[in-house]
Amino acid sequence: MAIKPEVLSQPDTNTPTVLVVTPRATLRINQSKSGVRRRKSDDSIDLDAPDLYFNRELSHLQFNIRVLEQSLDSSHPLLNRLFFLLIFSSNLDEFFEIRVAGLRHQVAIDREKSAADGMRPTEILKEISRLCHEQVERQYALLNEVLIPAMEAEKIRFIRRNQWTKEQAAWVEAFFNNEILPVTSPIGLDPSHPFPRLVNKSLNFIVSLEGKDAFGREGGLAILPAPRSLPRLLRLPDELCDGGDNFVFLSSMIHAHAKSLFPGMKVKGCYQFRLTRNADLAVNSEEVSDLASALRGELLSRHYGDAVRLEVADNCPAELANFLLKQFSLTEEELYCVNGPVNLNRLMAAMGQIDRPDLHYKPFTSGLPKPLRKEAGSIFNAIRQGDLLLHHPFESFSPVEDLLREAANDPDVVAIKQTLYRTGADSNIVNALVEAARNGKEVTVVIELRARFDEADNLTLASRLQEAGAIVIYGVVAYKTHAKMMHLLRREQGSLKPYAHLSTGNYHAKTARLYTDYGLLTANQDICDDVHKVFLQLCGMGQVLNMRKLLHAPFTLHKKILEMIDRETELAIAGKKARIIIKVNAITEPKLIKALYRASQAGVEIDLIVRGICCLKPGIAEVSENIRVRSIIGRFLEHTRVFNFYNDGKEDIYCASADLMERNLFHRVETCFPLLDSRLANRVRKDLKTYLLDNCQSWELQSDGQYLLNSPAEGEAEVSVQETLLDAYAEKLN
């Protein structure tokens, strides 16, 4: 079925929000004009001109808006539409915690820096505020006017206080008295009770009181932090409901019984609010002597960073909202009045309690490459027959786990080295590494402790591996280890035979079901030797080692990609066919963008599949008219990074852990690996062509900043790339 999205209109200020169905979705953030600017000296086009670049933060925000748009798309199952809406909330939280917080910090210390687009942090913050207010209003309108009614039609209800039956109200009262009241600590505001320090993103209430308390103090204001130990969403007992799935919010329970917390006082009003704080960790790599200890200390401070956003219930009186703003040193631009729960992420709890497979995507079983299906014995035997490429989630992640599990118990395996970025302390991968260490293997694990929001888990798994006898390395302090790689040594016929795994994604079985990634299993001597060299650089000290096949950041990756772009440019100038296809999550690095502009000017045909941030402007006459940019948003999060250069018919295909961003290319350890087996390279080329044919899940970026949703032309076949890959590789269960 072709996508026919329901799109919330952008309302005029004097009219209420209404839902309008349009035949084609259009997203625009900034409507900057892209006139060609020429240099004065030689009349050549100035590729440094700010109007040739989109702003990084606004492009990031635009990706989040495209995620929200999926909840408007009726071709997705109902509960998955709700999931997209909640992911938008989660993404927006992180956007404020990290990106907005960083911009505010620049302004606060009077060190505003403009990027290639020329916008200064104060300008960006103003535009972010405008856009976020618009989109949050759309989000709640969609929830209240579309999704909740649709769920109620399916007997999935979020029951408000005024809808409780007598029996439900009695159950709520009992729960409040037995579970909420004993653990709740309201804080009256007076000279001896200053405004409390509130935890980042915690649920709180501001309460307006009247009367005198036991000490004769006049009523005023109180802050009521919701107990963090209690769930924010509770399922009502089935016997109290007329079938279906019925939920009540903790906030509704507290609102209904707030007077019980202030005996003898009159509660004039009780309003929920939530504060978002700067959550970036401030670890100075140049001053750290023990990274693990420094991170443990910083993790505690993450809850109490500077305030960046205040969300309040939209029925909160202006004087109380202004009082809160003053407490947190925020302005009205940082205030968001919402028509519903201040933390929609809490609705995620309902997703796991609703047994309605008919309202979710149809299930599938990930496939396996033919050699693994045929080879019933050792996975090492299958890899020796030739390189294996896994495309998750269409193909299973289990061969990676099986390889480690077999290696842990194989007496011929003598050493295992692996990087871990996001994996979870309790996973099959970690279990296998622990078992291998206990079995006497030489196990070395490079753990990136600074994987954002996974720092605590990574500290835990580091301790677990160390206790098992593994050597644990934290990489290089000034560079995050973002490379995904594994190296194994197995004694075969009297000598040590290397094996390797390289991937575009993390060693995490759960995300391997949700993210698209490529993983290569190989026994190629050159690639295995290169992987070993990268581990030597991470674990020891020494000069940069020459690689035979791998490209790696921060040393050769940026330079080599520039060279391959320039090579296509030279081929086009020589009148030969020149072609570039790049698939990444983001492209922001100015030198690479300028190289792509020059390639386009020379006539190179360029297709960029960029899921998220794209600072390059396509389709500009005389600059980028040969560049097309599309973003795929669908059931799975697009996460593969692929570089395809035509190279005069001798095509190069690389997969990488890195995006084309400054941080990946210059401040992280990354790997980029070639597909040397022509069968695998042809397969990836075919995948890329399918991505370029997608007319159901793809958004086309225009030179003015619009993203247009592609749809099949009249008589044109529908192509959904993710569905096509599921059909090609996965085993459907229905």
**Residue 408 near residue 441, CB atoms below 8 Å:** yes
Is 482 part of the annotated catalytic residue set?
Answer: yes
Q: What is the pLDDT of residue 12?
A: 35
Spatial contact of 704 and 54, defined as CB atoms under 8 Å apart: no
Q: How long, in residues, is the chain?
A: 734
Q: How many CB atoms lie within 10 A of CB 671?
A: 27
What's the CA gap between 655 and 684, in Å, rounded?
A: 9
DSSP collapsed to 3 states, 400-431: HHHHHHHHHHCCCEEEEEEEECCCCCCCHHHH
Give the separation between CA 59 and CA 66, rounded to whole angstroms. Answer: 11
Contact 659, 586 (CB under 8 A): yes
Kindly state the helix (H) or strand (E) to which residue 587 belongs, with its residue range: none
Question: What pLDDT shows up at residue 574?
Answer: 97
Angstrom distance (rounded) from CA 430 to CA 404:
9
Domain boundaries, the chain: 155-355, 364-544, 552-732
- Provide the CATH topology of domain 552-732: Endonuclease; Chain A (3.30.870)
Cis before 393 (ω within 30)? yes
What stretches of 136-220 adopt beta strand conformation (E)?
156-158, 187-188, 203-210
The answer to whether residues 40 and 59 touch, using CB atoms and an 8 Å cutoff, is no
Please report which confidence band the pLDDT of residue 377 belongs to, taking 50, 70 and 90 as the band edges: confident
Res. 328: pLDDT tops 70: yes
pLDDT at 3 over 50: no
Rounded to whole angstroms, the Cα distance separating 120 from 115 reads: 8
Distance CA 389, CA 519 (A): 6
Numbers of helices and strands, H then E, in the chain: 21, 32
Whether the upstream peptide bond of residue 191 has omega within 30° of 0, thus cis, is no
Tokens of 550: 């791998």
What is the torsional sign of CA 104, 106, 110, 112?
negative
Query: Which two structure tokens, joined as six digits, stand for 442?
Result: 């030489």
Q: Is the CATH number of domain 155-355 3.30.1840.10?
A: yes
Q: How confident is the model at residue 194 (pLDDT cuts 50, 70, 90)?
A: confident
User: Is 345 in contact with 93 (CB distance < 8 Å)?
Assistant: yes
What letters, b where the CB count within 10 A reaches 16 and e where it falls short, cover 278-288?
bbbbebeeeee
pLDDT single digits (tens) 681-696: 999 999 999 999 999 9
Q: How far apart are the first and last CA of the chain?
A: 18
Residue 288 has pLDDT above 70, yes or no: no
> b/e per residue, 366-387, with b = 16+ CB within 10 A?
bbbbebbeebeeebbebbeeeb
Query: Do 702 and 708 form a contact (C-beta atoms < 8 A)?
Result: yes
Contacts of 311 (CB under 8 A, 6+ apart): 273, 274, 275, 276, 336, 337, 338, 342, 343
Q: How far is the C-alpha of 465 from the C-alpha of 468, rounded, in Å?
A: 5
Both tokens of residue 269? 């009003």
**152: its two tokens:** 């109620």
Given a cut of 70, is residue 299 above it in pLDDT? no
Instruction: Give tens-digit pLDDT for 154-163.
Output: 999 999 999 9
Residue 291's pLDDT band, with cuts at 50, 70 and 90, is low
What CA–CA distance (Å, rounded) separates 232 from 539? 44
Q: What is the mean pLDDT of residues 98-106?
A: 92
Q: What is the pLDDT of residues 125-164, one digit of tens each?
A: 999 999 999 999 999 999 999 999 999 999 999 999 999 9
List Cα–Cα distances, 540 to 290, 313, 535, 671, in angstroms: 17, 54, 8, 18
Class of domain 364-544 as given by CATH: alpha beta
Q: How many angstroms separate the CA atoms of 603 and 622, rounded? A: 10
Average pLDDT along the chain: 89
Q: Which of 60, 391, 482, 552 is catalytic?
A: 482
The sign of the CA dihedral 551, 556, 558, 563 is negative
Model confidence, pTM: 0.91
Picking from 193, 53, 181, 211, the residue whose alpha carbon sits closest to that of residue 119 is: 53
pLDDT of residue 375: 55
Q: Mind listing the pLDDT tens digit for each residue in 428-487?
A: 999 999 999 999 999 999 988 776 766 777 788 888 899 999 999 987 878 889 999 999
Q: How many CB atoms lie within 10 A of CB 260?
A: 15
Q: What are phi and psi of 420, to 5 degrees?
A: -130, 125
Q: Three-state DSSP class for 72?
A: coil
At 456, is the secondary structure helix, strand, or coil?
helix
pLDDT at 341 over 90: yes
pLDDT of residue 469: 92
In this structure, the number of other CB atoms found within 10 A of the CB of residue 49 comes to 18
Domain 364-544 and domain 552-732, same fold? Reply is yes
Share of the chain above pLDDT 70, in %: 89
DSSP annotation string for 604-649: -EEEEEESS-B-BPPS-TTTTTTEEEEEE-SSSEE---EEEE-GGG
Give the mean pLDDT of 399-428. Answer: 92
Q: Poorest-confidence range of 287-301, 498-512, 540-554? A: 287-301
Lowest mean pLDDT among 47-56, 57-66, 293-302, 708-717: 293-302
At 491-532, the pLDDT tens digits run 999 999 999 999 999 999 999 999 999 999 999 999 999 999
Pairing of strands 731-732, 551-553: unpaired
Say what the pLDDT of residue 290 is: 56
Three-state DSSP at 332 gives helix
